[in-house]
Amino acid sequence: MKKKQEKLYWRRLDNSAKIFPIAAGKKYSTVFRLSVLLKEKVDSKLLEQAVNMALEQYKSFKVRMKTGFFWYYLEYNPKKAIVEQEKEYPCKYINPKTNNNYLFKVTYFENKINIDIFHSLTDGNSGSMFFKEIVYTYLELKHPDVFKNERVARKLEYNTEDSYVKNYDKKSKGSSFSKKAYILKGRKIRLGAISAIHEIIDLNQLKEESKKYGATITQYLTSVLIYSIYEENYKKYRGKKPIKVCIPVNLKKYFPSKTISNFFSYITVEANMGKNNLDTFDQIVEFVKNDFKSKLTEEEIMKTMSSNVKIGTNFAIKIVPLEIKKLLVRLSYIEIRKYTTTTFSNIGRMGIIGKYKDYIEYFLMLIAPEPVEKIKCSSCSFENKMVFTFTSILNDNKIEKRFFNFLKERNIDVQIESNGVLDDISKEIK
Amino acid sequence: MIYPKKLSSKKGELVLKILLIVSILIAILLLVINKLTTPNISWAAIANGGIVYIWIIVLYSINKNVNIAGHVMVQTIAISLLTLFIDYKLGFSGWSINISIPIIIIIANVSMLILTIVSHRKYIKYAIYQLVIVLFSTIPGILLGEDIIKNKVLSIVASGISVLNLVLTLCLCARDVKDAIIRKFHI
């Protein structure tokens, strides 16, 4: 009976997830990565065992993508997940054919465990739940005596509903028309390579510094990011369009939902440097605070979410065959992306329970850069370490360097780790 | 150090791209030789039809996602089109629609019948391919109705077997067929 149920299991993609497989390819992977740095070397066999055990707990990840006539959909995947040593650049397109059809990929290197997740499967917040389950299970297998009782005590509660459709407001009017954004200029890195630079920041010092400006950590870091882009790219190339930073928002904070599928929206901080007289950091941080205040409201978030759901549920769009949808979206995707300069996703604190903390150094989050959004930023924190990550296809790291120096000048401890793609320049920062 | 020293970006499809270029060059070479030696017989076109057929099969086969029913469906359609093309290139005496396509359809339907009976528990995986084969199998029937086909026996047998196949499928796996249609055509 159980086998029969598994065989029949399938589910529609949620409203956000629909666009990703249509647009995804080698240039737009729409993949994000979560990594954990352990205090000991990773045992690959135990890790593979842990992944497959975690999949039994999180069955919604045990799926493969199938093609329907109008939309893609997810179907039960009877195969086992594969774990490999890290060989490729982070956040690359996941080819299901070489991955037992899974939409996530677990890799390891020395003390580090990575999971690359295709965004159609879930968002960063729910992805971190599954990742934490893998880490917990791995540590339990590695140290069975230490974690004898923990596994029994852990409770999981989630569903796979489309919380967008459940919570959106049919009557809500769409957001106002938006202008194109400043696009980062500069030579790109050699084909296919992605630079990852992690800035490991002392969280308490960062909190104190943010407080001085009356800003939250996300607001403060967004301001530093805008300031760095302004000083190192915008001024040099005499930008005119606004610097727009897309900030994903976890909708579970605003609506009741236990979904493991995507449930996020976004706000766009739109810094019109000339028009708003944003020449100094102080001016930028004041502007960002006010922009957050006006946009991060339930009403505004509902507007953005509802207008996106209305597109996905529009009957005229629904009945267009998938192949035609793919053609239209791929033709227009580069233009669509021109409304954002960069994205900064802060998934916040990685809450780790009990004794597991003792085995973990810190967590990382990375999101895939794209031909238009050449730099993307992400952050997460664990204990007193916040890791701010730049993933980039730009052939210089002046923005990263300015960001680093800015925090250093304010007496905040920052350490750098990188994947060595822009090696010489990374060493300069160190 | 939290990353390996050497990271790569996979270029796995390079071999396929090289083989594709080689195929195109061979196809052009065949056309040139044909034009220079025996321009009144278009054997190069038939050979190139074979190359296209091989590529369809290769590209489909390397996709590990595809199940056996998918292969039966693609082979049925690809071989039928190939025989039709060869027949056309040889002056269209009608052997393709009179003999080969009905035989191909009979073999495909018998294969699907065996698959249905042997593994009807896995049938949901085959349902959509089965339906496409049944749809494809209606072609001899339509041609028969239009009085285009001379050898009626084979076409009647082919259409009969496909109807039998559909009926048996609906009896054994109606729920699976319904479920497969819902998931494939959900809007």
What integer is the mean pLDDT of B63-82?
83
Domain ends where: A165, A195, A216? A165
Question: How many contiguous H segments (helices) and E segments (strands) does chain B have?
Answer: 7, 0
What integer is the mean pLDDT of A131-143?
95
| A365 vs B53, higher pLDDT | A365
Q: Assess contact for A426 and A389: CB atoms under 8 A.
A: no
Report the number of distinct structural domains present in chain A: 2
Rounded CA gap, A270 and A290, in Å? 11
Q: Identify the weakest region by mean pLDDT among A336-340, A386-390, A397-401, B101-105.
A: A336-340
In a domain, A208, yes or no: yes
Residue B93 contacts A, CB cutoff 8 Å: no
Backbone angles phi and psi of A162, in degrees to 5 = -90, 95
**pLDDT of A255:** 92
In a domain, A55, yes or no: yes
A350 pLDDT higher than 90: yes
**pLDDT of A64:** 93
Q: A420: which chain B residues are within 8 Å (Cβ-Cβ)?
A: 3, 5, 7
Q: A4: which chain B residues are within 8 Å (Cβ-Cβ)?
A: 121
**pLDDT of B121:** 67
pLDDT one-digit tens code per residue, A186-222: 999 877 889 999 999 999 999 999 999 999 999 999 9
The answer to whether the Cβ–Cβ distance between A420 and B183 falls below 8 Å is no
In a domain, A336, yes or no: yes
The answer to whether the Cβ–Cβ distance between B186 and A73 falls below 8 Å is yes
Whether pTM > 0.95 for this model: the answer is: no
pLDDT one-digit tens code per residue, A291-300: 999 999 988 9
The answer to whether the Cβ–Cβ distance between A92 and B10 falls below 8 Å is yes
* Residue A396 in tokens: 């210089």
My answer on whether A215 and A285 are in the same domain is yes
Nearest-Cα distance to chain B for A37, in Å, is 8
What integer is the mean pLDDT of B15-33?
90
Query: Looking at the predicted complex, does its ipTM rise above 0.90?
Result: no
**pLDDT of A111:** 96
Q: Identify the weakest region by mean pLDDT among A154-163, A335-344, A376-385, B87-96.
A: A154-163
**pLDDT of B120:** 66
CB pairs under 8 A between A and B: 76
Q: B120: which chain A residues are within 8 Å (Cβ-Cβ)?
A: none
pLDDT one-digit tens code per residue, B118-127: 776 667 778 8
| A428 vs A65, higher pLDDT | A65
In a domain, A66, yes or no: yes
The answer to whether the Cβ–Cβ distance between B7 and A109 falls below 8 Å is no
Domain ends where: A165, A197, A212? A165
B150 pLDDT higher than 90: no
- Structural domain for A21, as ranges: 2-165
Q: B9: which chain A residues are within 8 Å (Cβ-Cβ)?
A: 88-89, 92, 191-193
**pLDDT of B153:** 87
Residue B14 contacts A, CB cutoff 8 Å: no
**pLDDT of B167:** 86
Radius of gyration of chain A from its Cα atoms, rounded to whole angstroms:
21
A2 pLDDT higher than 50: no
My answer on whether A336 and A382 are in the same domain is yes
Best probe of the B interface among A9, A18, A69, by most B CBs < 10 A, is A69
- Work out the mean pLDDT of chain A and round it to a whole number: 90
In 3D, which of A150, A146, A206, A160 has the Cα closest to residue A59? Answer: A160
The answer to whether the Cβ–Cβ distance between B63 and A97 falls below 8 Å is yes
Percentage of residues in chain A having pLDDT higher than 90: 69
Would you place residue A5 in the very low, low, confident or very high pLDDT band (cuts 50, 70, 90)? very low
In a domain, A172, yes or no: no
Q: Assess contact for B102 and B155: CB atoms under 8 A.
A: yes
B61 pLDDT higher than 60: yes
The answer to whether the Cβ–Cβ distance between B2 and A8 falls below 8 Å is no
My answer on whether A82 and A221 are in the same domain is no
Q: A111: which chain B residues are within 8 Å (Cβ-Cβ)?
A: 2
My answer on whether A334 and A227 are in the same domain is yes
**pLDDT of B118:** 76
**pLDDT of B130:** 83
**pLDDT of A1:** 42
Which helix (H) or strand (E) segment holds residue A129: the answer is helix A124-142
The distance from CA A2 to its chain's CA centroid, rounded to whole angstroms, is 34
My answer on whether A153 and A209 are in the same domain is no
The residue of chain A nearest to residue B123, with distances taken between CA atoms, is A7
B64 pLDDT higher than 70: no
Q: What is the CATH number of the domain that holds A188?
A: 3.30.559.30
Best probe of the B interface among A2, A4, A8, by most B CBs < 10 A, is A8
My answer on whether A359 and A272 are in the same domain is yes
What integer is the mean pLDDT of A400-406?
95
My answer on whether A161 and A194 are in the same domain is no
Which residues of chain A are at the B interface, by a Cβ-Cβ cutoff of 8 Å? 4, 7-8, 10, 12, 35, 37, 64, 66, 68-71, 73, 75, 85-89, 92, 95-98, 101, 109-112, 191-193, 196, 198, 315, 318-319, 417-421
Q: How far is CA A163 from CA A14, A31, A359, B182, in A?
A: 8, 21, 35, 22
My answer on whether A275 and A156 are in the same domain is no
Q: B63: which chain A residues are within 8 Å (Cβ-Cβ)?
A: 97
Give the burial class of A110: count Cβ atoms within 10 A of its Cβ; 0-12 exposed, 13-18 middle, 19 or more buried: middle
Residue B1 contacts A, CB cutoff 8 Å: yes
pLDDT one-digit tens code per residue, B77-88: 999 999 999 999
In a domain, A11, yes or no: yes
In a domain, A171, yes or no: no
Residue B4 contacts A, CB cutoff 8 Å: yes
User: Which residue reads 């698959």 in tokens?
Assistant: B115
pLDDT one-digit tens code per residue, A148-169: 877 766 777 888 889 998 988 8
- Work out the mean pLDDT of chain B and round it to a whole number: 85
A136 pLDDT higher than 50: yes
**pLDDT of B135:** 87
What integer is the mean pLDDT of B50-77?
82
| A302 vs B9, higher pLDDT | A302
Residue B65 contacts A, CB cutoff 8 Å: yes
My answer on whether A146 and A196 are in the same domain is no
**pLDDT of A231:** 95
Q: What is the CATH number of the domain that holds A15?
A: 3.30.559.10
Nearest-Cα distance to chain B for A158, in Å, is 23
My answer on whether A336 and A287 are in the same domain is yes
What integer is the mean pLDDT of A125-147?
94
Give the burial class of A412: count Cβ atoms within 10 A of its Cβ; 0-12 exposed, 13-18 middle, 19 or more buried: buried
* H-state helical runs in B5-122: 14-37, 43-61, 68-89, 95, 101-118
Q: Is A271 helix (H, G, I), strand (E, B) or coil?
A: strand
My answer on whether A140 and A287 are in the same domain is no
Rounded CA gap, B73 and B66, in Å? 11
Nearest-Cα distance to chain A for B36, in Å, is 41
Rounded CA gap, A425 and A414, in Å? 16
Percentage of residues in chain B having pLDDT higher than 90: 25
My answer on whether A10 and A36 are in the same domain is yes
What integer is the mean pLDDT of A47-74?
94
**pLDDT of A428:** 55
Domain ends where: A110, A142, A165? A165
What integer is the mean pLDDT of A108-132?
96
The answer to whether the Cβ–Cβ distance between A109 and B12 falls below 8 Å is no
In a domain, A266, yes or no: yes
